[in-house]
Every structure is written in C-alpha cells, then in structure tokens.
Amino acid sequence: MPPYLLGLRFDGRRVVVIGGGRVAQRRVPTLLAAGADVLLIAPEATPMLDDLAARGELTWERRPYRPGDCAGAWLVQAATDDGEVNTAVAAEAEAQGTWCVRADDAELSPAWTPASGRVGETTVGVLAGGDPRHAAGLRDVIVAGLRDGTIEARHSRRRPVGVALVGGGPGDPGLITVRGRQLLAQADVVVTDRLAPRELLDELPADVEIIDASKIPYGRSVTQERINEVLVEQAKAGRFVVRLKGGDPFVFGRGGEEVLHCVREGVPVTVVPGITSAIAVPAAVGVPVTHRGVSQEFHVVSAHVAPGHPASTVDWEGLGRAQGTLVLLMAVERMRVIADTLMRYGRSPDTPVAVVQDGTLQNQRALMATLATVVDEMTATGVRPPAIVVVGDVVQVAHQIDMLNADMGRTP
C-alpha cells in the first residue's frame, strides 16, 4: 500500500538519531531547521555533526546505542551501519508507539523520509516507492520549477505587489538570480532595458505586457523621468511590475532613482541584486579583477563622461597613479582620451588591457592589447558597445590560462 505523507511540526520536540555517519549528516540539519530537539547517539560522528554539537545545536552522547535510548522521542532515526542495531532501535520505537525511520532497509522501515526541498514557504516532499535516487531526482525537478517560476508562479495565492527592481545579470539569461527569475515569472508588466537578458522575455505568458524602456547610445531612448512614471502608473493600476535591468540595478543602473520615485509615490519596491557586468564579463574571458600578488584592489568607473569634462567626478589622476585594476564601463567612444589620461598620470604604456564586447553572450569576443595600443586595436577590429575594458596586470592571468589550456589541448 502507498505511504501516507505527513508534515511534522517539531517545535522543540525530541528526535533521537542513532548513528553519526553520512546519513545522519544529511538528515540532522533538516531536523534542526524544522525546530527539532536532536539527541545524537553514536561513538563517532562526522566533522559537521561534531561542529553542530560543539555549537550547542544538538546533544551528542558519544557511545553506542543501548535499550531505552528511544524513551521520550517523538521520532527516531536509525542510521547506523549495523543492521542488527537498526532492527533493535526500530523494535524499541515500535514498542513505545514512536515512528522510526530505518536508513538501511526501506522495506523494514515503518516510516520513510521523503526527498524534500524548500522554496520560500513551499515545502516539497517526494516518495518513490522506497527508491531514494528516483525520489531525489523528481524533487530536484519540482524544486527547480518552483525556483524559476515555471510552476505555480502565476497561480499563487500570494501574488507580489508593487514594483520589483530586478538585476538581470550581464546578458546570458542563465546568469539571472533565482529570485529574479521567480519574480519575472509572476509579472503582469515587464519594463525592460536594452541590456537586459532578452531571451527571458520569450518565456513569459502571452498576456504579460512588455514595455521597452531602452536607452540606445546616440539613438532613440526613453527618458528616465518617463520610466519612473510608467512604473508608478502600472503599479497603481493594480499590476505587479518587474523592472528588468541589465547587470545590477544599483551599479550605474539608476536603480536608486527608480526606487526613490516609487517610494515617494507610495509604491512598495522589492530590489533583487544582479550579477554586475563589471565583474562577470572579465571573468567570462578568464580575467580576475583581483589576483593574489598582482592586484589587491579594483576600481569600477563609468566612463560615459570623458576625463576633463566639467561633469566628470572621476579622479583620473588618482587612477593613473594607482596600481589596482580598472574596470571601465561605457568607455568605447572615449577610450583614446582615457588611455592618454591614464598614461599622462603614471600608468605605463605597457599596461595590459582587455576589451570584451557582448560579454557572456554567444557572440562574445575579446581582444588583448596594451594601454598604448588598445585604441588602434579597437578601431581595427571594429569594437562597439556594449564592451567592458579592463586595465591592469590581471589581464595576464587570462593569457596564462589560455596558454595552459592550449598545452593541454583544451578549449577554454
């Protein structure tokens, strides 16, 4: 007969775990998270269980099982590697009317532990006829569907309200956060940027309204003021609005302006950070922004205003003297004056430079140069925005990785 699934609410009730090996290591943290008062009985335990005991999160009696250990337990877990001991534990629990889970034999176990997972307030438990691998596989599929919003998102009784400011990451749709994808799947309206991961929009239901709020360099664009107004108008109309932005909304994304406007208008806002292209795009071509013995600091600079311009607030002189990594965003059109300025203030003309166009996307391409040659290289290869420029010795790490991969016959 099929088992009857039941959700136990421990709330400080005693759970006795006999055995301190790998099975106990998997189950004890979940029991603790559910509020159980865990008594572990085992001569030895894994380092993780030992650490939990040292921190006072469970009680560990360092000895073998003996009759009477199940007294007062609400649930018993027989998790030793000795079948006779597990049989004795199960028999004692049965005699006193306590549920017992045997880890070694599903057929002899009066209770089974489902493969479980939790997403928000939803807990998933799967049993598959005593086959733990099958149950875990099904659990993973269901949990993944809940996390990315493809299961129940638009039918949830607790629909989000207001505006969610979601960082979509550097471009690859797989790099949006789990939380960002969840909220996107629940949107009534999506106000999207030019650099947001566009493939995600095709996954939305047909009734989701998509509003293009692109700012195209030297082309048509929607003003920031109008974007702010649209967010508030849609939210006050009772729709859940996702403002989908490229990268991280608080890293040169004007996210703070949008949040302030919504809050002033009484619209609640949820902020979901994104993976900023300033770090992700260099990483995509093997360039770390910091590296031991090479760079202990990095500076992220918006270069939409050229050095020397009255509107510039960047200390270019200080950056020229500094030895750390420079990550330049929106620098393509002004790279000549930027390179000249950095060299004038102390950066060596031989400083390595990497330029990555369309980072993390299928058409990503990169060039390696020096501060003295980068502008000519960019012109010769036709580099266009969006592109990230990295200045510093960390660029050489990518070259080392490429050389090692080549020696081993691998494609990075």
Catalytic residue positions? 193, 215
Are the CB atoms for 89 and 76 separated by under 8 Å? Answer: yes
Longest dimension (CA), the chain: 85
Are the CB atoms for 278 and 391 separated by under 8 Å? Answer: no
| DSSP of 319-373 | HHH--SEEEEES-GGGHHHHHHHHHHTT--TT-EEEEEESTTSTT-EEEEEETTT
State how far the Cα of 122 lies from the Cα of 118, in Å rounded to an integer. 6
Spatial CA neighbour of 176 closest among 166, 188, 187: 166
At 235, is the secondary structure helix, strand, or coil?
Answer: helix
State how far the Cα of 190 lies from the Cα of 201, in Å rounded to an integer. 9
Pairing of strands 115-119, 122-126: antiparallel
Spatial CA neighbour of 377 closest among 408, 402, 352, 358: 352
Structure tokens at 144: 């993944």
Are the CB atoms for 70 and 89 separated by under 8 Å? Answer: yes
